[in-house]
Amino acid sequence: MNNSDNIYNLAVSGVQKLVPYVPGKPIEELERELGLSYIIKLASNENPLGPGKKALAAIQAILPDLALYPDGNGFELKSALAKKYNLDMNQITLGNGSNEILELVARAFLTPDLEVVFSQHAFAVYPLVTQAVGATAVVAPALNYGHDLDAMQRRVTAKTRLVFIANPNNPTGTLLSHSSLEAFIKALPVTCVCVLDEAYCEFVADQNVENSTAWLEKYPNLLITRTFSKAYGLAGLRVGYGLSSPQLADILNRVRQPFNNNMLALAAATAALTDSEHLQNTITVNEQGMQFITEGFKKLDLEWIPSAANFVLVDLKKPALPVYEALLRKGVIVRPVGVYELPNHLRITIGTSAENELFIEALAEVVSLS
């Protein structure tokens, strides 16, 4: 075998056909390409205020310990989360981002003869983790861009081992009602694990959404995932977690790496949980920015999908890529969502008020020219 391409034939079949996740364009890359000096990135739903002071101080304080392995059980962070949610520590799985939890659940529960149900326009990581283990993705058509729970339910069979639901969903920002969601979970067969991905729950005005943790008592097959990457402003550190029955958590903890969360991440996330001021500021800035940006769309006669999260999809009613590229040339990075079967939309992360103004200004120029 002297043709190095033959190596591809050795990979498991799901991986052979895998198309990797394409992240938002990094600022440095656009700087290199265009030589622009001022660039704003509203592409990856990151916190425009950055990390909070308490998280930064905790990182600073732990630096001298970096020669040691981190606490593989994440005792401090798990205790803090257990207290916050009134759960037992053994109901928590820590992940290198909540993305890792999504991968762990796929690895622990799927085989090539099993199926996974999720919605059209759902988060891109669900098909990736499904395909990587060779399981079959069963995609339910969306309803008004959101999850159609009835359509999803109809696709659940004895072969369905996992269901992924993002609430709010990324990239659409759509939100399911608390009662319809519980009815869906309740109706699932016990042979099916329900992953409720709540990466954006902190931004949702309806408090009911964060109270989904109360369901854990009733549904041992429910896994709720949350993250420090969005509202807590720690995307670069990679910390997320799963909340579930102790049995489900035990299974996930068996397959994770022993030190999957690094020491800086554990310290910063623990401190971030005590920084309610930073979280509140983040939520306020997001609400104001969402209002400003959607008013901007209105003035430009553009439609958008109402969003419960920290981003919004604007409908350009024509291919969005040229608009995306024209915005790039003005130093504004947003996110095309063609891979989500939404070729006429762009996803905009809500920024600081200065960033939002620059974005609307740039968008106004671009759409008036095209």
Ligand X SMILES: *Cc1c(COP(=O)(O)O)cnc(C)c1O
Q: Which residues bind ligand X (CB under 6 A)?
A: 45, 97-99, 123, 166, 170, 197, 199, 227, 229-230, 235, 240
Contacts of 25 (CB under 8 A, 6+ apart): 41, 43, 328, 333
From residue 244, how far is each of 85, 89, 180, 207, 319 by CA, in Å?
11, 10, 20, 20, 41
Residue 199 Cβ vs ligand X, minimum distance, rounded to whole Å: 4
Residue 196 Cβ vs ligand X, minimum distance, rounded to whole Å: 11
Residue 229 Cβ vs ligand X, minimum distance, rounded to whole Å: 3
Residue 198 Cβ vs ligand X, minimum distance, rounded to whole Å: 8
Which ranges of the chain would DSSP assign to H, the alpha helix?
7-10, 13-16, 27-34, 53-62, 75-85, 98-109, 125-132, 149-154, 178-187, 246-255, 263-272, 276-299, 321-329, 353-369
Residue whose Cβ sits closest to ligand X: 97
Instruction: Check if the beta carbon of residue 134 is closer than 8 Å to that of residue 12.
Output: yes
On the CB side of 27, how many CA atoms lie within 13 Å of its CA?
8
Residue 296 or 351 with smaller CB distance to ligand X: 351
Residue 278 or 330 with smaller CB distance to ligand X: 278
Residue 204 or 235 with smaller CB distance to ligand X: 235
- Tell me the sheet residues that pair with 139: 118
Residue 296 Cβ vs ligand X, minimum distance, rounded to whole Å: 23
Given the DSSP bridges, would you call strands 222-227 and 342-349 parallel, antiparallel or unpaired?
A: unpaired
Residue 103 or 355 with smaller CB distance to ligand X: 103
Residue 310 or 358 with smaller CB distance to ligand X: 310
Residue 98 or 270 with smaller CB distance to ligand X: 98
Residue 274 Cβ vs ligand X, minimum distance, rounded to whole Å: 20
